């Protein structure tokens, strides 16, 4: 009797092992050891060309999200110069993009964002569809930073939003399924190196084989 139970138990373990191997074979989830930190909500902003930029612009893409303002004389020039270096490495990959959100929509007009794009990557229209400089209402921009990208304390609410100000050097890395997979200090060389490595990993993940599709989950993982 014990021998039969042992045989049945061993068979069950083998069966489960084979099942999970086949489930994950053909994708890189077992290879890419990046946590899922959050899920990005739907959004709609205005880009530097006056066009609408929403989640469909980055469907199936790996992208970096950050916050800045065009008149910043402090951390923004350095962090965006570092981000431009990242952009140079991946600008020819059709599955990569950047979304830079203004922290000061009350002053960062579309012409100012367009001029800022020229400083970062030039005005080649080929790259305008890869690095978006976006504006919108302050509450929607700040909500994305807090509740989607985790670039500001999510306990900060949108009451009296006109008195709030986000000024952060951190970047969020989002995968092809609109999941936040990492937060990086845009002023630290080792963090930038890690960001580059993680982008390369996520670019290898298949876009259409996400068995953990975030549409089946709430915005807060766990």
pLDDT tens by residue, the chain, 222 residues: 555 544 544 555 455 544 444 444 444 444 557 999 999 999 999 999 999 999 999 999 999 999 999 999 889 889 999 999 999 999 999 999 999 999 999 999 999 999 999 888 776 666 667 999 999 999 999 999 999 999 986 555 555 556 566 888 999 999 999 999 999 999 999 999 999 999 999 999 987 544 344 443 344 443
Strands of the sheet containing 170-174, edge to edge, are 38-39, 179-185, 170-174, 62-68, 96-102, 131-134
Q: Which residues contact 66 (CB under 8 A, 6 or more apart)?
A: 79, 80, 83, 98, 99, 100, 101, 151, 170, 171, 172, 186
Query: Which CATH class name applies to 33-210?
Result: alpha beta
With CA atoms as reference, report the closest residue to 73 among 167, 162, 209.
167
* 76 annotated as belonging to a binding site for a ligand: yes
Quote the pLDDT of residue 152: 83
pLDDT in the model for residue 222:
39
Give the C-alpha separation, 97 to 129, whole Å.
Answer: 8
**Residue 101 marked in a binding site:** no
Q: What is the pLDDT of residue 216?
A: 39
> For tokens 């970047």, what's the residue?
171
Tell me the residue ranges of DSSP E strands in 57-187.
62-68, 96-102, 131-134, 170-174, 179-185
* pTM across the whole model: 0.77
**72 assigned to a ligand binding site:** yes
Look at residues 66, 57, 54, 77 and name the one whose alpha carbon lies nearest to residue 102: 66
Query: Where exactly are the structural domains of the chain?
Result: 1-31, 33-210
Q: Which CB contacts under 8 angstroms, 24+ apart, belong to 207-211? A: 207/60, 207/95, 207/176, 207/177, 208/60, 209/26, 209/27, 210/176, 210/177, 211/23, 211/27, 211/29
Taking phi first (over 0 means left), then psi (-120 to 50 degrees means alpha), and beta for anything else, what does residue 63 get? beta
């Amino acid at each position: 009797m014990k021998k039969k139970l042992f045989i049945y138990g061993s068979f069950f373990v083998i069966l489960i092992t084979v099942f999970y191997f086949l489930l994950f074979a053909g994708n890189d989830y077992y290879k890419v050891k990046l946590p899922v930190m959050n899920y990005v909500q739907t959004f709609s902003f205005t880009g530097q060309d006056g066009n609408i930029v929403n989640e469909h612009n980055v469907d199936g893409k790996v992208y970096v999200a950050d916050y800045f303002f065009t008149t910043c004389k402090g951390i923004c020039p350095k962090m965006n110069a570092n981000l431009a270096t990242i952009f140079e490495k991946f600008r020819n990959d059709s599955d990569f993009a950047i979304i830079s959100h203004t922290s000061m929509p009350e002053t960062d007009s579309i012409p100012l964002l367009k001029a800022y794009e020229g400083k970062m990557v030039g005005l080649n229209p080929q790259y305008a569809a890869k690095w978006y400089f976006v504006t919108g209402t302050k509450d929607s921009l700040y909500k994305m930073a807090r509740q989607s990208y985790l670039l500001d304390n999510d306990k900060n609410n949108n009451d009296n939003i006109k008195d709030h100000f986000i000024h952060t050097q951190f970047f969020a890395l989002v995968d092809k399924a609109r999941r936040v997979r990492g937060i990086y200090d845009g002023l630290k060389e080792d963090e930038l190196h890690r960001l580059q490595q993680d982008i390369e990993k996520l670019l290898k993940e298949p876009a259409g084989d996400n068995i953990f599709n975030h549409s089946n989950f709430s915005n807060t993982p766990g």
